[in-house]
Homo-oligomer: A and B are copies of this chain.
Amino acid sequence: MATLRTDGPPGRGSEGPTGRAASAIPEATVARLPVYLRALHGLVERGIATASSEELAVIAGVNSAKLRKDLSYLGSYGTRGVGYDVEYLIYQISRELGLSQDWPVAIIGIGNLGHALANYGGFVSRGFRIAALLDADPRLSGNRVAGLVIRHIDELDEVIAENGISIAVIAVPPHAAQEVANRLVTAGITSILNFAPAVVTVPEGVDLRKVDLSIELQILAFHEQRKTSGLPRAVLRGPRAVRPVREDPVNPGEFDYPSYTADDAAPAANARYDEVRPA
């Protein structure tokens, strides 16, 4: 197995064996195009036919120069002195993103989240269509959710092939995520959106993006902590674990803290550190 990739395409990587230079649209730009698209759709709803980069930028919540540069990677679709034609720009961005075709998507794992995703009409916007639901629990097989029959995961290969699916969503418990990812790759899936709170790796050539609620929350908590307590941060409510920001590593003094175990970890023995690090 070649180098593994984890995160969303990290700067396009080494672009794999197919040594395409690609048409050089930066990854950061690609990530913003859907946002512009949404802003543009909003303008359509309001019956606005033309918008300047400044107006669009405000709606999309970005810098106008950035927006112009982003759009310039697609071509020169604006009109100087006027701005961008909304419908035309929507078409161009959609085309660039590959939304001109209809992508069939499979959802693996029809638990709480998978169920919500399947029923969440809004998430499958123009360009996507839920084509299959799969689950490992045989009791679910045959049930209908969102108008689709749930199939057993063992039928994965047939389902993928039958529907020409290349994009799959993982919504299984964390411990099953890697296994499911492996099976998806074997079945020919080349793009995976992972909702399971687990680190999943895939072979090169397969794109993997993750949506992780607890990670997002933890990032928020980090900033929140800095806001509420000043620099010498202190614990507001919760266990006593007050320590200086960077205590002398040689002599940390006494402190105790709970053993932090994973979401689904077996309850680990509560550790106590009376030394910097256990000998």
Residues in chain A within 8 A of chain B (CB atoms): 4-9, 18, 20, 22-23, 30-31, 33-35, 37-39, 41-42, 44-45, 49, 58-62, 75-77, 79, 85, 87-88, 90-91, 94-103, 105, 112-113, 115-117, 119-128, 164, 166-167, 173-174, 190-193, 197-199, 201, 205, 207, 209, 211-228, 230-231, 233, 235-239, 241, 243, 245-246, 249, 257, 259-266, 268, 271, 273, 276-278
Q: How far is the CA of A268 from the CA of B231 in the complex (A)?
A: 52
Q: How far is the CA of A4 from the CA of B276 in the complex (A)?
A: 43
Q: Is the CB of B211 within 8 A of A99?
A: no
Q: Return chain B residues, CB-CB under 8 Å to A211.
A: 211, 213, 216
Q: Return chain B residues, CB-CB under 8 Å to A164.
A: 237
Nearest CB in chain B: distance from A205 CB, A:
8
Q: How far is the CA of A97 from the CA of B198 in the complex (A)?
A: 18
Given contacts A120-B213, A216-B211, A249-B75, contact A101 B260 (CB under 8 A): no
Q: Return chain B residues, CB-CB under 8 Å to A224.
A: 98, 103, 166-167, 190-191, 207
Other than A35-B215, A88-B273, give 7 A-B pairs with Cβ distance below 8 A.
Answer: A5-B61, A20-B230, A98-B221, A116-B116, A125-B197, A126-B260, A128-B221
Q: Is the CB of B34 within 8 A of A218?
A: yes
Q: How far is the CA of A276 from the CA of B75 in the complex (A)?
A: 13
Q: Is the CB of A99 within 8 A of B260?
A: yes
Q: Return chain B residues, CB-CB under 8 Å to A116.
A: 112-113, 115-116
Number of copies: 2
CB pairs A–B below 8 angstroms (28 shown): A4-B58, A6-B62, A23-B245, A33-B222, A37-B260, A39-B199, A59-B199, A88-B273, A97-B221, A97-B222, A99-B221, A100-B239, A101-B236, A101-B237, A103-B221, A115-B116, A120-B213, A122-B174, A126-B263, A127-B217, A164-B237, A190-B227, A191-B220, A193-B216, A207-B223, A209-B219, A209-B220, A211-B216
The 4 closest A-B pairs by CB, nearest first: A6-B61, A41-B262, A98-B225, A101-B238
Among residues of B, the one whose C-beta sits closest to the C-beta of A36 is B199
Given contacts A7-B61, A75-B246, contact A87 B259 (CB under 8 A): yes
Q: Return chain B residues, CB-CB under 8 Å to A278.
A: 49, 85, 87-88
Q: How far is the CA of A207 from the CA of B90 in the complex (A)?
A: 29
Q: Is the CB of B61 within 8 A of A201?
A: yes
Contact of A44 among B33, B113, B223, B268 (CB under 8 A): B268
Given contacts A91-B273, A94-B260, A271-B87, contact A191 B123 (CB under 8 A): no
Q: Is the CB of A217 within 8 A of B167?
A: yes
Q: How far is the CA of A222 from the CA of B33 in the complex (A)?
A: 10
Nearest CB in chain B: distance from A45 CB, A:
5
